């Protein structure tokens, strides 16, 4: 049922299948913690295609492939011909004849779709401008791990509501039965198309979707506060204007208090601009006088913040995705 399938976007899988991947994430995390071998991909070769930089996704695919007994091969944008001297179709056919699975991180969703179409092997979307599906398995596993349930919870994403993470959270939460709010200025709210996809699933799951620029209403009662960077990779925009638009949406103590709950958790897919200890962070401080952007250092380091557990869970969840779609393991009927 999972064998040979690609994971290009969240709607590629049913609610039960997504829940299976989330459950398998927990199982594989336990095997890893208890040093129990799980080489379900023994002898397989995995291509890791990265057009954009990455820490978590690259590290997670590499370690997960090694733990599963596979050999991962990193193919960066300057290492291969894709997009420069060779079409996606031709590259896909060659890689598919040599590798058993392909991870792709890049700009266009169409490239991920074409790699799957022409390679004949499972392709896993490690982030495109439209979706970030592997991130979702880690995120919802992290929520499940903390609360012991998903259904009935409320997740409020606050910040740039049109990026890949916001798109993916909106649709995945709707599929999984989690109430979801995108709290963003009107010009940074999800497209009608993305909202329509999510709405169909929300009706089926009987959950509420709210897209609003009203911060108080958006975060009140939220079990999960989630944010992401204000400028995504490859976006060329007026940075000052984006900061001015989003500064009221920063996760800080005041905004956290507006949830009305002390047990609310904070998630961020990372990397985060929470201090000036990076080149970009230092430049922002110098240019705009801000030492923190989408989340304050205090909120980032608070006991409510599970961002590093969430980051670790990228590895266990990517392992679950690869094992289910390519591994030699028994999977019960999941529909
Ligand atoms: N969250 C995430 O995709 O992190 P990286 O960009 O480091 O892979």
Active site annotation includes 105: yes
Token digits for 107? Answer: 């700009």
Token digits for 176? Answer: 């999984």
Which residue, by CA, sits nearest to atom 4 of ligand 1?
Answer: 56
220 burial (CB, 10 Å; 0-12 / 13-18 / 19+) is middle
Tell me if the domain spanning 10-132+314-326 has CATH number 3.40.50.1370.
Answer: yes
| ∠ Cα 55 57 62 (to 5°) | 95
Give this prediction's pTM.
Answer: 0.97
Q: Please state the domain extents for the chain.
A: 10-132+314-326, 154-222+224-263+265-303
Instruction: Enumerate residues 6+ apart whose C-beta is below 8 A from 84.
Output: none
Active site annotation includes 268: no
CA distance 122 to 116: 6
Pocket test for ligand 1, best of 52, 56, 169, 306 (most atoms within 8 A of CB): 56
Question: Going residue by residue through the chain (335 aa), what tens digit of pLDDT does each one get?
Answer: 899 999 999 999 999 999 999 999 999 999 999 999 999 999 999 999 999 999 999 999 999 999 999 999 999 999 999 989 999 999 999 999 999 999 999 999 999 999 999 999 999 999 999 999 999 999 999 999 999 999 999 999 999 999 999 999 999 999 999 999 999 999 999 999 999 999 999 999 999 999 999 999 999 999 999 999 998 877 888 889 999 999 999 999 999 999 999 999 999 999 999 999 999 899 999 999 999 999 999 999 999 999 999 999 999 999 999 999 999 899 988 87
pLDDT at residue 238 in the model: 87
Active site annotation includes 100: no
Active site annotation includes 79: no
Token digits for 29? Answer: 């995390």
Active site annotation includes 269: yes
Token digits for 34? Answer: 């208890």
Q: Which of 56, 58, 105, 268 is catalytic?
A: 105
Instruction: Enumerate residues 6+ apart whose C-beta is below 8 A from 79.
Output: none
pLDDT at residue 55 in the model: 98
Q: Which is the closest atom of ligand 1 to the Cα of 52? A: 6
- Measured in Å, residue 59 CA sits from the centre of ligand 1 at 9
3-state secondary structure of 9: coil
| ∠ Cα 92 98 104 (to 5°) | 45
Q: Which is the closest atom of ligand 1 to the Cα of 58? A: 8
pLDDT at residue 54 in the model: 98
Sign of the alpha-carbon dihedral angle for 269, 248, 290, 256: negative
Tell me if the domain spanning 154-222+224-263+265-303 has CATH number 3.40.50.1370.
Answer: yes
- Measured in Å, residue 246 CA sits from the centre of ligand 1 at 21
Does the beta carbon of 163 lie inside 6 Å of ligand 1? no
Task: Tell me, yes or no, if the two domains 10-132+314-326 and 154-222+224-263+265-303 fold the same way.
Answer: yes
Which residue, by CA, sits nearest to atom 3 of ligand 1?
Answer: 57
Q: Which is the closest atom of ligand 1 to the Cα of 270? A: 1
Q: Which of 56, 135, 139, 310 is catalytic?
A: 135
**What is the DSSP code string of 223-265?**
SEEEE--SS-TT----HHHHHHHHGGG-B-HHHHHTT--SS-E
CA distance 32 to 72: 18
pLDDT at residue 334 in the model: 83
Q: Which is the closest atom of ligand 1 to the Cα of 132? A: 3
């Amino acid at each position: 049922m999972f064998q040979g399938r690609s994971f290009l976007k969240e709607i590629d899988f049913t609610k039960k299948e997504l829940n299976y991947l989330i459950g398998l994430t927990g199982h594989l995390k336990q095997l890893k913690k208890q040093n129990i071998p799980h080489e379900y991909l023994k002898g397989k070769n995995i291509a890791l295609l990265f057009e954009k930089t990455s820490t978590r996704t690259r590290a997670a695919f590499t370690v997960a492939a090694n733990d599963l007994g596979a050999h991962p091969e990193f193919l960066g944008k300057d290492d291969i011909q894709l997009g420069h001297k060779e079409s996606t179709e031709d590259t896909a056919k060659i890689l598919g004849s040599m590798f058993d699975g392909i991870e792709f991180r890049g700009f266009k969703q169409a490239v991920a779709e074409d790699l799957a179409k022409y390679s004949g092997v499972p392709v896993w979307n490690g982030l495109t401008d439209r979706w970030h599906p592997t991130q979702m398995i880690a995120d919802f596993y992290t929520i499940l791990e903390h609360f012991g349930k998903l259904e009935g919870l409320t997740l409020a994403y606050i910040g740039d509501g049109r990026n890949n993470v916001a798109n993916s959270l909106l649709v995945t939460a709707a599929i999984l039965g989690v109430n979801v709010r995108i709290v963003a200025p009107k010009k940074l709210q999800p497209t009608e198309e993305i909202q329509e996809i999510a709405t169909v699933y929300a009706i089926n799951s009987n959950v509420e979707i709210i897209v609003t620029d009203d911060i108080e209403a958006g975060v009140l009662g939220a079990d999960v506060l989630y944010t992401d960077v204000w400028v995504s990779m490859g976006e060329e925009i007026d940075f000052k204007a984006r900061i001015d638009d989003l500064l009221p949406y920063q996760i800080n103590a005041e905004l956290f208090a507006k949830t009305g709950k002390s047990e609310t958790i904070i998630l961020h897919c990372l990397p985060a601009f929470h201090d000036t200890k990076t080149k970009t962070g230092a430049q922002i401080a110098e240019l705009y006088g801000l030492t923190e952007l989408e989340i304050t250092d205090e909120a980032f380091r608070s006991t409510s913040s599970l961002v590093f557990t969430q980051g670790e869970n990228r590895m266990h969840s990517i392992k679950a995705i690869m094992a289910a779609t390519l591994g030699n393991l028994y999977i019960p009927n999941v529909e």
